Homo-oligomer: A and B are copies of this chain.
Amino acid sequence: MNLRVDIVIFSLRDSAVQVLLTRRASQPFKGRMSLPGGRVSEGESLERTALRELEELVGAGKTYLEQLYSFGEPRRDPRGRVVSVAYYALIPGDRRVLAGRDGSAVWCSVDKLPPLAFDHAKILAYARDRLRNKLEYTTVGFQLLPRRFTLSELQRLYETILGKKLDKRNFRKKMGLLGILRPLRDWRHTGRKPARLYAFIPKRFEKLKDKGILFPF
């Protein structure tokens, strides 16, 4: 039985949710794009496999990683039986990526995906659903932003992933109420009126989580 780990690596780039894909160098599906992944080694846990693959591609740094689902249809790989444990990862949009050893990794907007190898389109769709859902009751979203960000950037992130417009005042009211943002003393100067920078306070959020208070959106 062949066991692999495939990873859906999300990031926010150019105001779009993008996924890191690799081009297949060999048959089957030679030349097609596919999710990065690799074999689970002996003595290596699933999560460790995922972390290893992840590091090869995007290096170390703030990363969110979560197991997604296991895919085991008998015919999903034409070469033979392969079961994939899929993970998904979130990395900040300002992170430089190594783009893989051979530089074959490419960011693709999830709205303009090329045809994918195997059942990877299915895996990716599943990951997007999960991300959307999770965004509504957790703070995973912050994993996609740089350490410091403006409220408008945060709102755009939510709007992009949820696929709908949010009201600015309501959005800010809720964020304020949650008390998980720390206003910084710096401002972002980008074209027009400068915007205040904020940082996420993970500690505060942990307390909310313990009390069972979730994320309302």
Q: Interface residues, chain A, CB within 8 Å of chain B?
A: 1-3, 40, 42-47, 67, 69-74, 81, 83, 85
Q: What is the bound-complex CA distance between A40 and B70, given in angstroms?
A: 13
Assembly stoichiometry (copies): 2
- Give the distance in Å from the alpha carbon of A3 to the alpha carbon of B3 in the complex: 8
- Report the bound CA distance from A70 to B72 in whole Å: 12
On whether A74 and B43 interact (CB within 8 A), knowing A67-B69, A69-B67, the answer reads yes
CB neighbours (8 Å) of A74 from chain B are: 42-45
For residue A122, give the distance in angstroms from its CB to the closest CB of chain B.
Answer: 13
Known: A1-B1, A2-B1, A3-B1. A45 touches B73 (CB 8 A): yes
Minimal beta-carbon separation of A84 from chain B (angstroms): 10
- Rounded to whole Å, the gap between the CB of A163 and the closest CB of chain B is 12
Are B67 and A85 neighbours in the complex by a CB distance under 8 Å? no
5 nearest A-B residue pairs (beta carbon) = A46-B72, A43-B74, A70-B70, A1-B3, A1-B1
Chain B residues in 8 Å Cβ range of A1: 1-3, 40
User: Nearest-CB distance from A123 to chain B (Å)?
Assistant: 13
Residue pair A42, B2 in contact (C-beta under 8 Å): no
